[in-house]
């Protein structure tokens, strides 16, 4: 189940880098690949219920903001609450995009691996739209296309950063090997 490989050999003939690769059974590999993505999607779904509605998060958020900024005005407080809630949207969907990209780039299916960027973005946008649709049925929440756009922007930003990193990594590996 555990396979050890040597990456390089020094001039003295000693291995300079080894790594362990764990070969999970097929079902466990699928869970390892998609489990975090599913878990995060479930957390977003739970957060879209009454649990994380503005009415439930406003009190604790106000207390923290008053503690950090004791002389904050009501208008500034409202603006900060709004910005923090929207930053939460960006962050939660950036993480969703990261987990989708992780799942798709490590997939056993060539289609998923080769089109990971667009499939991850499609997944994030579709999940964002379905999440806002879900919120439209929760009495203390409202579904908003603008929130969906903010969610999608968070996912797109993360995917762009990942693609840039992959491109830079590929460029570095080409420049170090003639």
pTM of the model: 0.76
Give the single-character DSSP code of 50: G
Output the pLDDT for position 173: 66
Residues 50, 52: Cα–Cα separation, whole Å: 6
**Cα separations in angstroms, 81 against 22, 44, 67, 150:** 45, 19, 14, 16
Q: What is the DSSP string of 116-137?
A: HHHHHHHHHHHHHHHHHHHHTT
> Which pLDDT band, with edges at 50, 70 and 90, does 177 fall under?
low
Residues 135, 112: Cα–Cα separation, whole Å: 30
3-state secondary structure of 15: strand
Residues 167, 48: Cα–Cα separation, whole Å: 35
Please report the sign of the dihedral spanned by the C-alpha atoms of residue 152, residue 153, residue 155, residue 160: positive
Strand partners, 22: 2
Output the pLDDT for position 142: 85
Span 73-82, mean pLDDT? 87
Stated length of the chain: 178
Write out the two tokens for 79: 């603006």
> Which pLDDT band, with edges at 50, 70 and 90, does 96 fall under?
very high
């Amino acid at each position: 189940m555990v396979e050890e490989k040597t990456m390089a050999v020094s001039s003295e003939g000693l291995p300079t880098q080894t790594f362990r690769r764990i070969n999970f059974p097929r079902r466990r590999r699928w869970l390892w690949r998609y489990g975090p993505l599913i878990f995060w999607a479930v957390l977003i779904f739970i957060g879209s219920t009454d649990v994380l509605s503005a009415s439930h998060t406003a009190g604790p958020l106000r207390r923290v903001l008053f503690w950090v900024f004791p002389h904050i005005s009501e208008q500034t407080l409202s603006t900060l609450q709004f910005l923090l809630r929207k930053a939460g949207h960006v962050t939660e969907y950036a993480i969703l995009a990261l987990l989708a990209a992780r799942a798709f780039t490590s997939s056993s299916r060539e289609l998923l691996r080769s089109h990971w960027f667009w499939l991850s973005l499609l997944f994030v946008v579709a999940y964002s739209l379905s999440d806002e649709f879900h919120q439209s049925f929760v009495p203390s929440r409202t579904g908003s296309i603008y929130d969906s756009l903010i969610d999608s922007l968070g996912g797109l930003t993360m995917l762009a950063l990942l693609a840039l990193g992959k491109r830079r990594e590929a460029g570095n590996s080409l420049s170090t090997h003639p």
